Amino acid sequence: MLIFVAMMGALLVLMLLGLPVAASMGLTSVVTLGFLRGFGAIPWDILSQRIIYGVTNFTLLAIPFFLFAGRLANEVQVTDRIFNFAKSFVGHFRGGLGHVNILGSMIFAGMSGSAVADAGGLGQMEIKAMVDEGYTLEFSTAVTAASATIGPIIPPSIPMVIYGAVAGESVAKLLIAGFIPGVLMGLAMIGLLVLMAPWYGFQPKPRAPFREIVTALKQGFLPLLAPVILIGGIISGIFTPTEAAAVAVVYVIVMGVVYRTLTWRGLLAVLRNSMLDTAIILLIVSTSSIYGWVIARYQLTDALVNWMAGAVASPLLFLLIINLFLLVVGCFIDATPALFILTPIFMPMVKQYGIDPIHFGVIMVFNLMIGLVTPPVGTVLYTLTRVTGIPLERLSYAMLPWYLPLAATLCAIVLFPSISVWLPSLMLGR
């Protein structure tokens, strides 16, 4: 148990000192082996094999494809059509562009699977439109940050793919499990906006004419069809979740060709950025494989499971502790490395308490998405501060009300597992 605490502590210290995540995990693993076996007896051959083994999981192929699809959707201006469609439907309500922001994120989530892609692409346009209509920059940016967290919950979802690959669970079930929680997130945010509208003095706008709604629907038909194709293909068995990621890329390219917005220069730029993101993630994957091997080799998770079983009797109390832990972790560690580090540690305990791994996957990803909008290390917050120039302190203050719908939805998911597991069980069986 002491070794486990030392490894986690050393890892956090190295990352807080600014060392890259992959280097922190690799260095922690090597130093731990050095103390346990002697620095002259470190099995470098096994470590090199673990590095290779870590990136040979077929499921991980979905990550670069979903990253590419999300970036490419922004490049070919699919986001414009989503925004216009959402505006024609809900733009007339009080705080209309706030509703448009949330609905647009829910739709775009069906293509990108990434909160950062949502915030950096669709978010820029939403913030500009809101500010131009008189909303404050702080309010506009906070709504955008909160709604961006829906992206990795509603399928497809890059974090769900990572969790499924590391935990050895069905990625298809995990993707479908996020649908109802994602919709609940959006509805909870809309509910908060309705309550806040009188306070801010938002006034309703004239409803869009029927002809304008039909035009927006026609222009946004192909983007709206993307989630139907991807999820429908997975449920029907036409393609696997990994293959669905490749289908998403092809579909976005087709939209770019149809709309005549795809250029060679833009395509190459998106390819380059997606390759860099993929390389960083796979480097984290390879070093997390070493980290996980050290933990398994010295049975550190067994010691943790035995300690937890003696200290915590109730599965609900266990989930409460894990939720609090993940919320703190999410403030300091990005979602991707956190999933690779913590999933192998948590899974034995999840099974010990009889918790459905699919349900736990949704809880874990949801917690880490809250971390994306929580300082001091909130990736979405930093993305939007770069986009808008707003100081992090002002944005963090403006975010305070938006933690309420996130917290309420998280509590509902924890207390009612059927919210997560009912739909995948219905569609794919147990």
pLDDT in tens, 271-302: 898 888 888 878 887 887 887 778 777 766 66
Which of 317, 318, 410, 397 has its CA nearest to residue 370? 410
Which of 85, 94, 125, 349 has its CA nearest to residue 202? 94
Structure tokens belonging to residue 18: 């600014």
Give pLDDT tens digits for 181-192. 999 999 999 999
**Cβ proximity of 146 and 373 under 8 Å:** yes
pLDDT at position 18? 74
**Cβ proximity of 373 and 399 under 8 Å:** yes
Structure tokens belonging to residue 81: 């059509």
Which of 58, 47, 56 has its CA nearest to residue 293? 47
**Residue bearing tokens 């808008």:** 388
Which of 347, 352, 339 has its CA nearest to residue 312? 352
C-alpha distances (whole Å) from 19 to each of 3, 14, 363 are 21, 6, 28
H or E segment and range at residue 346: helix 335-352
What whole-number distance in Å separates Cα of residue 428 and Cα of residue 430? 7
C-alpha distances (whole Å) from 23 to each of 17, 278, 290 are 12, 16, 11
What whole-number distance in Å separates Cα of residue 207 and Cα of residue 252? 31
| 136: Cβ contacts below 8 Å, ≥ 6 apart | none
Structure tokens belonging to residue 294: 């050290």
Angle at 135 between CA 109 and CA 111, to 5 degrees: 10
Give pLDDT tens digits for 68-121. 887 888 788 787 788 888 888 887 788 888 888 898 888 887 776 677 767 766
Worst-scoring range by mean pLDDT, 6-15, 111-120, 215-224, 368-377?
Answer: 111-120
What distance lies between CA 321 and its chain's CA centroid? Answer: 21
pLDDT at position 303? 66
**pTM for this entry:** 0.85
